[in-house]
Structure 1
């Protein structure tokens, strides 16, 4: 008996699946699995963040509500004192003076880092391959140097009696600088600290900004030149719009890094002279560990985080507004292309 060939189903009709034949999984389940996969991949990173970041933050927050000195620490006594550490800190004139000093210190360093880093990044884009490679190697070496090693080098450079800087200035005719104590006054100590921070932070801005300039099409500069634009006009109309998102992110990161900078300030002169160069991280360490007021130090560190978040809130709104504007421009361009 011959088997008839299976006929194709009529047009417009869906063939009925044979009973018992396994079919594809329901679409809802496949969507659920695909939607859950990114969260499953993020679980290890989230777990590590909770252990190494979340746990210290919670512990420090609990410590800020305790009266913990050396006596309580030795006797293993937990003495809760509510918000006393916070009220004492916020009512202290020293705390607000250190806060203002930290804000000014951060603002000055961030402005210098962004300006110098931008200039060096634009210089890298214009240099030849050999000079660019040489400058990149120097920037990477400065960026890769450990902070404590950098502070040791700067302490040697600015030493009072045998420092290289004083010797060079004396040879140039500034005899009064032969035995100058760079860590003897507030301004000179901040100058040394700021110089070291700028030296270690500029490479990040310069290298990344140079990488951003490589994405700008040369045709845009040619079009600007045809319109009669000079170097400054080309920078404003072509270069800066492309670099603006990167500069905003770099400024955001530099504010965080400079505001919480601890080893740069502490290793140079431990916040001296007379605690006049203490920033909030150093102030929290000196009060908590140095003076053995661990609860007060914890409260200062929590307030430092809150102050940093308050300072960055306006900047975060600017970044989000810029991202929304870029997304809107991209959607309009895509609609225009389809039209």
Structure 2
């Protein structure tokens, strides 16, 4: 009696119940069907449409209205009588030929550069300190940074007004107790540089937490093996920082500088609340200058023109910075 034998292909698994035949492919899990669930065609754009529409309503439409207003002669008389008087580019011509505008522009650029430099240096040092502290001290310092960052701008500015008040101010009291008796009744907002000093301390104090906390988070992504290898090679603390830490933090630092330039350049409440751009309008930056000319002097078309020129200047500064960054990355 002959015994039937089956020939099995060693490279193909046998199907259940059928010797020698490969089992049909089965689909298990979400990743088994490539292409399914992927958005194609117009679907991604439809999902982005609500966010784009929301942005256009909140930002685009006010910008369009501001642009239309910049080509009008709108003072209190036109506003009360509901008159629309178009004057073409007269507002821009008057602004661009004004020495005050260019003086304020240079002042705003220098003010932004000084503040951003201080914010980045101090924020980086505190972020590196967070990475070296123990768990309890790191939690304590991080809590203080978050609380400082979360305080409303007007509330913080009011506190700084009280700290630097000429009478009953904490700063003057401390300086007097330390031996500087001439500072007992010093008026911090009486001069240009002293007023800018107070504003700079305020803005730097508000901005450091963002830089420090995010930089500390960036340091946690650096592999510890790199530091161990650098230590085995005999690298000191400064060498480890420049060879290991800094290259990893460089993308974060470049992006943070970009954000801080925008934030400091458009800072309005800190400058205005401290001394309303005084004394003698010597501490006005472009946002304050636009407000004073537009609302304070009731030249609303002029204020709109200054606002749009402020946006153009900010775009020019940021685009120049981005070009430097991209060129530097290409060279590397």
Deviations 1:187-220 (A, max 9, x none): 0000000000000000000000000000000100
Please give the residue correspondences for 1:134-213 in structure 2 after superposition, counting only pairs within 5 Å. 134-213=140-219
Please give the residue correspondences for 1:1-339 in structure 2 after superposition, counting only pairs within 5 Å. 34-321=40-327
TM-score by length of 2: 0.87
Deviation for aligned residue 1:317: 2.0
CA distance in 1, matches of 2:241, 2:316: 33
CA distance in 1, matches of 2:175, 2:38: 70
CA distance in 1, matches of 2:53, 2:331: 34
Count matched residues: 298
Deviations 1:138-173 (A, max 9, x none): 000000000000011000000001100000110111
CA distance in 1, matches of 2:232, 2:296: 65
CA distance in 1, matches of 2:102, 2:172: 35
Deviations 1:256-295 (A, max 9, x none): 0000000010010000001000000000000000000000
CA distance in 2, matches of 1:33, 1:311: 37
Unpaired segments of 5 or more residues in structure 1?
A: 1-26, 327-339
Deviations 1:100-151 (A, max 9, x none): 0000000000000000000000000000000000000000000000000001
Answer 1 or 2: which has greater helix percent: 1
CA distance in 2, matches of 1:283, 1:224: 52
CA distance in 2, matches of 1:317, 1:169: 45
2:40 counterpart SS class: helix
CA distance in 1, matches of 2:117, 2:37: 48
Classify 1:222/1:67 alpha carbon distance in 2 versus 1 (closer, same or farther; 3 Å): same
1:18 aligned partner:
none
Classify 1:101/1:116 alpha carbon distance in 2 versus 1 (closer, same or farther; 3 Å): same
Deviation for aligned residue 1:82: 0.5
- Report the aligned-residue RMSD: 1.6
Deviation for aligned residue 1:319: 4.0
Unpaired segments of 5 or more residues in structure 2?
A: 1-34
1:22 aligned partner:
none
2:72 counterpart SS class: coil
Deviation for aligned residue 1:31: 11
TM-score by length of 1: 0.85
- Deviates most, 43-52 or 32-41: 32-41
1:34 counterpart SS class: coil
